[in-house]
Amino acid sequence: MTPAIFALSGLALTDDERDFLREADPAGYILFGRNCESPAQMRALTDALRSLHGRDDLFITIDQEGGRVARMKPPVWPAYPAGAVFDRLYDIAPMSAMEAARANALAIGLDLAEAGVSCDALPLLDVGTHDTHDVIGDRMLGRDPARVASLGRAVLDGLLDAGVQGIVKHIPGHGRATADSHKQLPTVTVDDGALERDIHPFRALRNAAVGMTAHIVFTAWDADRPATQSPTVIETIIRRRIGFDGLLLSDDIDMEALSGSIPERSAAAIAAGCDVVLNCWARMDDMAGIAEALPPMTERARERLAAAMAPTRVAAPFDRADARAAAIAKRDALLRAAGMAA
């Protein structure tokens, strides 16, 4: 198995993709708006991927956060609020905020489960500051570490209620970054003690099954390499200090924060300790280069992948449409009770 998450070019597999992916046997897939037309179309696509590999518990993820980060869009799917809505509700009623976040995540998860998607790249556990770059902005769950952890746990629980796994991101924290890692490499220069605030939510949710790294240099830990490609950050900070032992994905390996060819970036991330690299652009040359450059997925990484996907094998034991409507109604009632709109 190739330790990579690959993307697809369109609404259905092409013949070239089918031939390549059957041979490369990636750990899983990520879907984007270009792959999302309707629940039936998405289900046909995800079923085709499962049939291609003979894996019912195939890792298939998507960025369906709500707000401005949503690949499955209205009018086909509901619009969901960004994380900042639950942060604001927490100011008024903490327990209501957690219940609303869980209900919202359940509704999102039911959309995903219907389409055959087994994993959502949510929640963000990045602790905000006054300088947090807008690339995170209203996506974050707050500026208080304990609040972020509480709301993040509610999101994970809601997704799992729908039979969908979550991904905690961006380990060890994107909140202090003042640059967009899609475009350049952010550097965080605060000392080790200050970074305790950033890693608190990840430590609190260290038993999460899947996590995603940040393409950020933390000079207190490794002044030369971003976290995704730093053995020091991955082994000493993420695995030992935070205590995260789940499946560790890189953020998109194609982002401009990283340097070198796509295969070189991927090999560096795996060598540093990532279990899997994420490649989002469905470029056949890049995917072929990654498959050639990477060693087979380690036995420990395969165990982590299997453990992460285990809850997704169980079909939701209720009517998804009714359950989604009830979850959205619950979320909206909690917001209205606090004088807020959904």
Name the nearest CA neighbour of 325 among 315, 333, 317: 333
Name the nearest CA neighbour of 21 among 11, 37, 7, 31: 7
Per-residue confidence band for 311, with pLDDT thresholds at 50, 70 and 90: confident
Please give the Cα distance from 147 to 269 (Å, whole number).
31
Task: Name residue, tokens 């082994």.
Answer: 235
Please give the Cα distance from 336 to 342 (Å, whole number).
8
Average pLDDT over the chain, rounded to whole?
Answer: 94
Extract the tokens encoding 167. Answer: 């991904």
Extract the tokens encoding 205. Answer: 């949710």
Question: Domain map of the chain by residue range?
Answer: 2-337
pLDDT (0 to 100) of residue 315? 53
Alpha helices in 214-283 (DSSP H): 231, 262-272
Say if CB 247 and CB 209 are below 8 A apart.
yes
Tens of pLDDT, residues 38-50:
999 999 999 999 9
Tens of pLDDT, residues 11-36:
999 999 999 999 999 999 999 999 99
pLDDT (0 to 100) of residue 31? 98
Name the nearest CA neighbour of 305 among 247, 238, 223, 259: 247
Say if CB 161 and CB 234 are below 8 A apart.
no
Give the residue numbers marked as catalytic.
182, 251
CATH superfamily of 2-337: Glycoside hydrolase, family 3, N-terminal domain (3.20.20.300)
